[in-house]
Amino acid sequence: MDEDDRASLTERFEEHRSHLRAVSYRMLGSLAEADDAVQETWLRLNRTDADEIENLGGWLTTVVSRICLNLLRSREQRREDPVERLETRVPDPLVSPERRIDPEQEVLLADSVGLALMVVMESLAPAERLAFVLHDMFAVPFDEIAPLIEKSAAATRQLASRARRRVQGQAPAPDADLARQREAVDAFFAAARDGRFEALVAVLDPDVVLRSDGGAGGALSVVLHGARTVAGQAVTYSVLTPYVRPALINGAAGVVVVRKGRAVSVMAFTVVGGRIVAIDVLSDPERLKLLDVTALEV
């Protein structure tokens, strides 16, 4: 391949990079692993005669999906985390200032992939996740997905349907109005700051779930259920209040807690009907080191 051909191939690949990263992020829940999967796709393209590829976009999507599927299966095989750790695992959040989503993140968030949805997808089996992501989020036909998981199109449809039921049952669609979401989040922190327990309960759905990921072996890795139980942590929230910075977390209203110029936690809220139904917290210091908070309003 001469320099002109390589430059042309690079340009064609870059046209698909954002799409491939969006597929990988939904599949893996890890930004670093998503980038690795996209890079591996590029390397495989370089080892292939691109002139024989009729539909480059479809070919790239198939390749990156197969790479992600293998990563998910490998992750399951080597997983040594206890069940409790799996329950508290929070995928990598996408953090941006309010009203100012980075264009690259905008592509990643095209289908409103809230953090609560990503959490539920972590519980799916690899084949289920592949079928759900490719069909429901990217409209790939089942007969094109089936060969990737060595199933029939009918069996692949069933896998996607099973995944869809779990997602809809455990990750309800948030209110579309971002201002309404922010109102609930602000009310939550105002009640916590003032120590108004009943007001805190009132802004929470009775069946609210709080999931906190403090890292493997972290004391902050917990799952709490129910409005009164979650509200019982009000003292913790009130201590955080002075350091709360409003942000969009995966496109929804949330906050980043910033102390001395670094993030100490990211809190994503799922608001349905004006009430908070889920709070997903990342407080793993190792993962938060990678988060740039300079663009957040102070």
CA distance 66 to 61: 9
The sheet carrying 252-259 orders its strands as 95-96, 244-249, 252-259, 262-272, 275-282, 204-213, 222-225
Q: pTM, whole model, 2 decimals?
A: 0.86
Which structure tokens are listed for 298?
């102070």
Q: Which of 96, 87, 107 is closest to 24 using CA atoms?
A: 107
Q: What is the pLDDT of residues 235-272, one digit of tens each?
A: 777 888 888 999 999 988 999 999 888 899 999 999 99
Residue 182 clears pLDDT 70, i.e. is over it: yes
Distance set, CA 217 to CA 87, 122, 146, 288 (Å): 13, 19, 38, 16
Q: What is the pLDDT of residues 49-85, one digit of tens each?
A: 888 888 999 999 999 999 999 999 998 877 655 444 5
Instruction: Look at residue 84 in the predicted model and tell me its pLDDT.
Output: 46
Q: Do the beta carbons of residue 254 and residue 267 sit within 8 Å?
A: yes
Q: What is the pLDDT of residues 226-243, one digit of tens each?
A: 999 999 987 777 888 888
Q: Which of 279, 282, 289 is closest to 224 using CA atoms?
A: 279
Task: Give the confidence band of 35 by pLDDT, cuts at 50, 70, 90.
Answer: very high
Percent of the chain with pLDDT over 90: 59
